[in-house]
C-alpha cells in the first residue's frame, strides 16, 4: 500500500521540485475526501502540482480562473437554447471533473464562491430541472494570493470552514530554485505516468479508515480544539483576548480523518501525537477568528495554535 503512495510522489517529483508539504497535504485531502485551500504568491507550482497529481492518479483535471466578472454558470454550467432542435440542452461547466483547481478563488464575488462551495459540500450540481451527481473522487484545490488586496473578495468564515486544510506555501530553497531553473531552461521535465487506478485509490481510502487511534489520542485532539474556544480554562489567559471564535466542530471531524491519513502515509497503522502536531495548523488556521486587537498587533492564528500545542498535555 505504501509503495503506491511513494509511486505517486515519485511521478509528481518529475515536474515539481520540493514543496513536500503541499504534496502531502493534497494526498491527505484526497484520501479523506476533503478539499484544500492554498495561500501563496504566484509561481510556486500550485497549478503544476495538482495537474501532475491528476496525471499520476489517472484522473480528470480542470482549471477555472476566478475573476470579478465570473458568474456561477461559468463554473457549474447552464441550460442553453438549441434553435436547430427547438429545445434546451445542458452545457456542463468545469466543475464536472475529478480534480478542480479554483485559481485565485478570492477574486470572484460571493455568489460564485457560494455556488462552488455548495457543490463541494453536496457533491452534486442542479442545472435547470436536472440534478447531476459528481463522479467520485471529486476534489477541489483552491488558491488565493495573499499579496493583492484590490479587486478581491474575502472568503467568509462559514465558507472557509468547508475546506479541510489551509496550506500556506512559501518560496523554494535556493538549491531547489536553481534546480527548477535548470529543468525549465533545458526542457528536461519527464512524462508523468498514471501509477494508480480509481480502484487503488478506494483501497487506499479503506486502509486509511482502518488506522487505529488510541482513546487517549482522541481525547487529546478534542482538548486541542476545545482550548481554542476556551483558552482561559487551559491557563492560556494571554491569548484569550486575541481569539473571538475558536475552531468549529468540523475541525474535530476533519482532524480524526486527517491524522489517520498522516499516520498511514508515514507507514504506520496507528496515530501518535506527532501526527496530530504535524497537521494541526493546516486544519485550524482558517477556522479561528481573531479579535480586532489581534489584527492590530499583528498576531496570527498560527501563533495561537502553537501556544495551544505547547500547553495542552500530550498523552
Query: For 216-237, how does the pLDDT look when each residue is reduced to its tens digit (9 = 90+)?
Result: 999 999 999 999 998 888 888 8
Predicted local distance difference test score (pLDDT) of residue 254: 92
Answer yes or no: are the C-beta atoms of 93 and 127 closer than 8 Å. no
Asked, as a colleague might, if the bond just before 137 is cis with ω within 30 of 0, I would say: yes
| Same-domain status, 103 and 237 | no
Spatial distance between the Cα atoms of 172 and 21, rounded to a whole number of angstroms: 12
Can you give the CATH number for the domain in which 247 is found?
A: 1.10.8.80
Whether 263 maps to a domain, the answer reads yes
Beta bridge partners of 36: 141, 165
- 140 within 8 A of 33, measured Cβ to Cβ: no
Q: Domain count of the chain?
A: 2
The CATH number for 180's domain is: 3.40.50.300
CA distance 13 to 7: 10
What CA–CA distance (Å, rounded) separates 178 from 72? 41
Reported pTM? 0.86
What does the pLDDT read at residue 10?
81
- The verdict on residue 204 lying in a domain is no
Q: Are residues 155 and 286 in the same domain?
A: no
What's the length of the chain? 315
Residues 172 and 277 in one domain: no
One domain, residues 233 and 166:
no
Of 113, 107, 100, 108, give the one whose Cα is nearest residue 157.
113
In this structure, are 49 and 173 located in the same domain?
yes
Q: Are residues 170 and 71 in the same domain?
A: yes
Query: Which domain range does residue 280 map to?
Result: 210-311
Residue 12 lies in a domain: yes
Domain boundary among 150, 172, 198: 198
User: Domain boundary residue among 153, 176, 198?
Assistant: 198
Q: What is the DSSP string of 13-32?
A: HTT--S-HHHHHHHHHHHHT
What per-residue string of b and e applies to 191-230 under the rule 16 or more CB within 10 Å gives b?
ebeebbeeebbeebbebbeebebeeebbebbeebbbbbee
Q: Which strands make up the sheet holding 36-39, listed edge to edge?
A: 61-65, 99-103, 139-144, 36-39, 165-168
Residue-level pLDDT at 49: 82
Residue 205, domain member (yes or no) = no
Which residue numbers in the chain have pLDDT < 70?
A: 1-2, 147-152, 187-189
Same domain, 14 and 139: yes
Residues 156 and 220 in one domain: no
Structure confidence by residue, pLDDT tens digits, 245-286: 888 888 999 999 999 999 998 888 899 999 999 899 999 988
Q: Are 98 and 215 part of one and the same domain?
A: no
Domain boundary among 161, 176, 198: 198
Is residue 193 within 8 Å of 11, Cβ to Cβ? yes
Q: In terms of domains, do 24 and 138 share one?
A: yes
Same domain, 74 and 154: yes
Please tell me whether residues 221 and 281 are part of one structural domain: yes
Amino acid at each position: 500500500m505504501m509503495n503506491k503512495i511513494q509511486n505517486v510522489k515519485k511521478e509528481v517529483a518529475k515536474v515539481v521540485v520540493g514543496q513536500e508539504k503541499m504534496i502531502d497535504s493534497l494526498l491527505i485531502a484526497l484520501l479523506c475526501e476533503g478539499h484544500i485551500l492554498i495561500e501563496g504568491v504566484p509561481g510556486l507550482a500550485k497549478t503544476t502540482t495538482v495537474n501532475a497529481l491528476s496525471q499520476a492518479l489517472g484522473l480528470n483535471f480542470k482549471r477555472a480562473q476566478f475573476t470579478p466578472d465570473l458568474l456561477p454558470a461559468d463554473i457549474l454550467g447552464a441550460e442553453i437554447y438549441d434553435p436547430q432542435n427547438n429545445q434546451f440542452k445542458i452545457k456542463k461547466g468545469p466543475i464536472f471533473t475529478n480534480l478542480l483547481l479554483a485559481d485565485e478563488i478570492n477574486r470572484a464575488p460571493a455568489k460564485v464562491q457560494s455556488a462552488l462551495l455548495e457543490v463541494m459540500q453536496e457533491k452534486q450540481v442542479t442545472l435547470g430541472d436536472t440534478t447531476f451527481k459528481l463522479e467520485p473522487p471529486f476534489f477541489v484545490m483552491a488558491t488565493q494570493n495573499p499579496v493583492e488586496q484590490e479587486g478581491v473578495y474575502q472568503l467568509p468564515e462559514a465558507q472557509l470552514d468547508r475546506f479541510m486544510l489551509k496550506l500556506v506555501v512559501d518560496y523554494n530553497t535556493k538549491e531547489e530554485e536553481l534546480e527548477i531553473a535548470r529543468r525549465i531552461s533545458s526542457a528536461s521535465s519527464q512524462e508523468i505516468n498514471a501509477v494508480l487506478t480509481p480502484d487503488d485509490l478506494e483501497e487506499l481510502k479503506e486502509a486509511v479508515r482502518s488506522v487505529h487511534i488510541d482513546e487517549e489520542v482522541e481525547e487529546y485532539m478534542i482538548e486541542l480544539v476545545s482550548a481554542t474556544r476556551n483558552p482561559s480554562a487551559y491557563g492560556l489567559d494571554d491569548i484569550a483576548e486575541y481569539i473571538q471564535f475558536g475552531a468549529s466542530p468540523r475541525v474535530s471531524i476533519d482532524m480524526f480523518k486527517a491524522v489517520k491519513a498522516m499516520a498511514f502515509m508515514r507507514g504506520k497503522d496507528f496515530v501518535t501525537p506527532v501526527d496530530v502536531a504535524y497537521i494541526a495548523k493546516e486544519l485550524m488556521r482558517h477556522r479561528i477568528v481573531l479579535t480586532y486587537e489581534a489584527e492590530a498587533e499583528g498576531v496570527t492564528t498560527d501563533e495561537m495554535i502553537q501556544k495551544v500545542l505547547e500547553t495542552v498535555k500530550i498523552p
